[in-house]
């Protein structure tokens, strides 16, 4: 008499639940949902406060809190008018600084992602002497404080980069003497260690059979990277791009030091810091300027959000 065959779905104790299902079940549980709602509420309240304050007159902002809007009603567009349209020196327009921030943030995001993706592929799939030690060194660079590298980079730029900038300006006058090149290089250097680490975790999880099949077909490392690895790594690259862009967009220290603080290359964050006034007496304009500065980061995040969770969980749900 043959033994009865028990379907796998019946023998639940004998069939292991896939790891992807366990992760999905945990992320969609009631506790995770409540925690996500609480975190979203905590992060949204200050943003909502800035939004309300940006439409309140200066006298109400200085005397009452934004949460008393119903007891002390009052709305005005003067804050946005002063920030966006006023030509006065005390509250200059943000347009030029807005363009400067875009000119800094976009290349300072593309450059480290380009170099980091190639380096991550090399660490994951190219075998050469000392690859493990070199990867540990790159990973350890994340713990180096940013402030420790400012003086050496300034010395390097003053000795080698500034003469080159002057030479390019003499040959091609259309290129300004003060340009964004030092800021791009600085942000690229500071962003590479973390970007390489995150992208390496994703690229190393690509099935070995896919890479070996391409090698058997005679594909070179360049062909494997551009035709196979790069398309598969889009979610991870988009996730790292969000972090890098937001960090560069909100940065003040690096851009202020390496741009020189002049109006033609200074970022939006510098103007936001100046909007509050020398004694903090005009921070009603700061609320309007800060909310204007949120527009681009929100556009970037919502444009890439579909890749965000996939990129963060990449490599953690294998099996």
Query: Rounded to an integer, what distance in angstroms lies between the CA atom of residue 150 and that of residue 99?
Result: 25
Q: What b/e sequence results for 246-273 when a residue is b if at least 16 CB atoms lie within 10 Å of its CB, and e otherwise? A: bbbbebeebbbbbbeeeeebbbbbbbbe
DSSP 72: S
> Residue 161's pLDDT band (boundaries 50, 70, 90)?
confident
CA 66, CA 56: separation in Å to the nearest integer? 8
From CA 204, how far away is CA 227, in angstroms rounded?
A: 16
54 vs 87 pLDDT, higher one: 54
The pTM for the full model equals 0.77
Lowest mean pLDDT among 33-42, 274-283, 296-305: 274-283
pLDDT score, position 46 = 85
Domain boundaries, the chain: 22-75, 94-315
Structural contact between residues 61 and 284, judged by C-beta atoms closer than 8 angstroms: yes
Q: How far is CA 137 from the centre of its chain?
A: 23
Of the listed ranges 20-29, 59-68, 183-192, the least confidently predicted one is 20-29
CATH entry, 94-315, from 3.40.50.720, 3.40.50.300, 1.10.3720.10, 3.40.640.10: 1.10.3720.10
Q: What is the pLDDT of residue 313?
A: 56
pLDDT band at residue 188, thresholds of 50, 70 and 90?
Answer: very high
Considering only residues 239 and 2, tell me which one the structure prediction assigns the higher pLDDT. Answer: 239
Q: Could you tell me which of 26, 10, 229, 252 has the C-alpha nearest to residue 122? A: 229
Token readout for 177 is: 């003497």
Give the mean pLDDT of 61-72. 82
Instruction: Confirm if 292 and 94 have CB atoms less than 8 A apart.
Output: yes
* Confidence band of 195 (pLDDT split at 50, 70, 90): very high
Helix (H) or strand (E) holding 75: none
Indicate the pLDDT class of residue 69, thresholds 50, 70 and 90. Answer: confident
């Amino acid at each position: 008499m043959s033994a009865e065959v028990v379907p796998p779905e019946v023998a639940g104790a004998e069939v292991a639940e896939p790891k992807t299902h366990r992760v999905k079940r945990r992320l969609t549980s009631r506790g995770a949902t409540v925690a996500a709602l609480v975190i979203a509420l905590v992060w949204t309240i200050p943003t909502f406060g800035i939004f309300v304050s940006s439409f309140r007159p200066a006298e109400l902002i200085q005397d009452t809190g934004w949460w008393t809007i119903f007891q002390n009603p009052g709305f005005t567009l003067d804050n946005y008018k002063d920030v966006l349209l006023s030509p006065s020196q005390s509250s200059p327009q943000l347009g030029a600084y807005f363009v400067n921030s875009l000119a800094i943030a976009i290349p300072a995001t593309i450059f480290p992602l380009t170099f980091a993706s190639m380096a991550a592929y090399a660490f994951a799939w190219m075998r050469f002497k000392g690859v493990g030690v070199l990867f540990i060194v790159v990973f350890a660079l994340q713990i180096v404080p940013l402030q420790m590298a400012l003086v050496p980079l300034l010395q390097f730029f003053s000795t080698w980069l500034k003469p080159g900038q002057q030479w390019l300006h003499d040959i091609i006058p259309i290129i300004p003497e003060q340009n964004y090149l030092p800021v791009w290089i600085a942000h690229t250097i500071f962003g590479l260690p973390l970007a390489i680490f995150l992208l390496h975790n994703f690229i190393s999880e690509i099935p070995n059979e896919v890479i070996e099949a391409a090698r058997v077909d005679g594909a070179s490392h360049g062909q494997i990277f551009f035709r196979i690895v790069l398309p598969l790594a889009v979610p991870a690259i988009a996730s790292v791009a969000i972090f890098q862009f937001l960090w560069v967009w909100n940065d003040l220290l690096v851009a202020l030091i390496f741009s020189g603080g002049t109006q033609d290359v200074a970022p939006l964050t510098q103007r936001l810091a100046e909007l509050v006034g020398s004694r903090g007496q005009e921070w009603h304009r700061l609320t309007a300027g800060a909310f204007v500065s949120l527009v681009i980061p929100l556009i970037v995040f919502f444009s890439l959000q579909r890749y965000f969770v996939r990129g963060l969980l990449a490599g953690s749900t294998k099996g």
